[in-house]
Amino acid sequence: VITYNACLSALEKSNEADKGFELLAQMRSQRLEPDLITYSALISACEKGNNVEKALELFAEVKQRALEPDTILYSSLVSTCEKGNRAKEALEVLEEMQLRGKQPTTVTYSALISACEKG
């Protein structure tokens, strides 16, 4: 999984989300379970590709698999919602983040403010 995560992070940085999802499918075909790092990289890739719906699907999958989202994953999702002009969802993510005892960062708040500015 570590090697896949490194590749996913590189693909996210090079704005190649589609290849990231192909890699996720390959991981699953080899019966490797994605972890939080996997999901964080893919959600960040969704941000760059402005694919809020896919990011929200990934987040739902994280919760379905009973993984505990961390601050990085939550912040990535808030940023993705901001890029997609989805202030309501960004606020909901922040609320859940706080309810689960995760501390928002300046990155989280900056993305949230920007999302609210956009409406």
Least confident of 47-51, 84-88, 93-97: 47-51
DSSP string, 62-85: HHHTT----HHHHHHHHHHHHHTT
Q: What is the CA radius of gyration of the chain?
A: 14
Distance CA 79, CA 24 (A): 21
79 pLDDT more than 80: yes
Angle at 62 between CA 116 and CA 92, to 5 degrees: 20
If we measure between CA atoms, which residue out of 83, 81, 85, 84 comes closest to residue 94? 81
Output the average pLDDT for the chain.
Answer: 94
If we measure between CA atoms, which residue out of 91, 32, 63 comes closest to residue 108? 91
pLDDT band at 13 (very low <50, low <70, confident <90, very high): confident
Kindly state the helix (H) or strand (E) to which residue 90 belongs, with its residue range.
helix 87-99
pLDDT band at 12 (very low <50, low <70, confident <90, very high): confident
Average pLDDT over residues 60-86: 96
Distance CA 45, CA 42 (A): 5
pTM: 0.90
pLDDT value of residue 118: 86
- Tell me what percent of the residues of the chain surpass a pLDDT of 70: 100
pLDDT value of residue 16: 82
